[in-house]
Chains A and B, each alone.
Chain A
């Protein structure tokens, strides 16, 4: 077992593939992780104007299907029951 393998417990081809998956998504979409964070904050601000959400639970991901990328936002809503009770 090589030095890096012992360090990470991972074969180097596996690291290469995981790193490339991320790099290619960002190359293809021209979206950097930093831009994604800004987008996420904007999205939270806009949605919060209309409905109550938990900003910490919001997830924004880029996923791929074949050569297509998709922006997937998972935004859990706060239960309406509690809002009515307030």
Chain B
């Protein structure tokens, strides 16, 4: 087995990287794939709480890298999906405890037994970002349709180009279709026109994302929500399937009727 290493990064913080990793991982594992997520944000770990696995941490990535435990021992198995694992970040360690070559070595070991290795990159373009990107076969850039997120995404794309990494794909997260329709939010076409990289996912803004994180139950687990569906579609596209995008922006006749009815 030769697993694929997918790094999820963004430049800007708070755009939904961790949510994307948790949901794509859950979606891939639901399709029967063996998946391990690595939290690359040493000192500010969060993937554990988003996945609902925070109470089961014994060892973390620094323990693995420094040889205090075997890799298997640091892999927390998700009880809901037996082929889904998490390697948590260390919370109390300095972020320089792990190097890019440590990450390459760890991922090479994991490739042998996993289908997918998903790395949740920290925000920024420093050491943690370099660690997360070093072993990547594919890079997914998460952005929001908003000035600073798009600008930072462009910086990251430029850095990846300079390092001759494979061309990244874009996830446009937290799109608010009503605001796009009103002309108060950049559309998918606008963001694509600015960044010019392949779009692999469009995720609508969805209150259920917060509810899901409150419960530690990623949306893609069962969700009928649109965001959950969008993340499942991203997982299928990663698997090479052609999946049409959910139409979020167009104003259908029904939408217009609803609007008219609400306006009286």
Contact = CB atoms under 8 A, between A and B. Distances in A.
Contacts of B155: 27
A23 B185 CA distance: 18
Interface residues of A, number: 15
Interface in A19-73: 19-21, 23-24, 27-28, 66-67
Interface string B189-223: 01001111100000000000000000000000000
Contacts of A17: 186, 190, 193-194
A67 B157 contact: yes
Contacts of A14: 183
A11 B180 CA distance: 10
B21 to A, nearest CB: 25
A31 B193 CA distance: 21
A20 B184 contact: no
B147 interface: yes
Given A13-B180, A13-B187, A14-B183, A28 B154 contact: yes
A81 interface: no
Interface in B155-190: 155, 157-158, 161, 179-180, 182-187, 190
Contacts of A24: 151, 154, 194
B194 A13 contact: no
A19 B147 contact: yes
A24 B146 CA distance: 13
Q: Main SS of the interface on chain B?
A: helix
Contacts, number: 45
A21 B154 CA distance: 11
A28 B195 CA distance: 11
Given A27-B151, A28-B154, A67-B161, A16 B186 contact: yes
B35 interface: no
A23 B153 CA distance: 13
Of the candidates A13, A21, A66, the one having the most CB atoms from chain B within 10 angstroms of its own CB is A13
B150 interface: yes
Contacts of B146: 16
A86 B182 CA distance: 61
B197 to A, nearest CB: 8
Interface of A: 11-14, 16-17, 19-21, 23-24, 27-28, 66-67
9 contacts: A11-B183, A12-B183, A16-B147, A16-B186, A17-B186, A20-B186, A23-B151, A27-B155, A67-B157
Given A13-B179, A13-B184, A13-B185, 18 more contacts: A11-B182, A12-B183, A13-B180, A13-B183, A13-B190, A16-B190, A20-B147, A20-B151, A20-B194, A21-B194, A23-B151, A24-B154, A27-B155, A27-B158, A28-B154, A66-B196, A67-B161, A67-B197
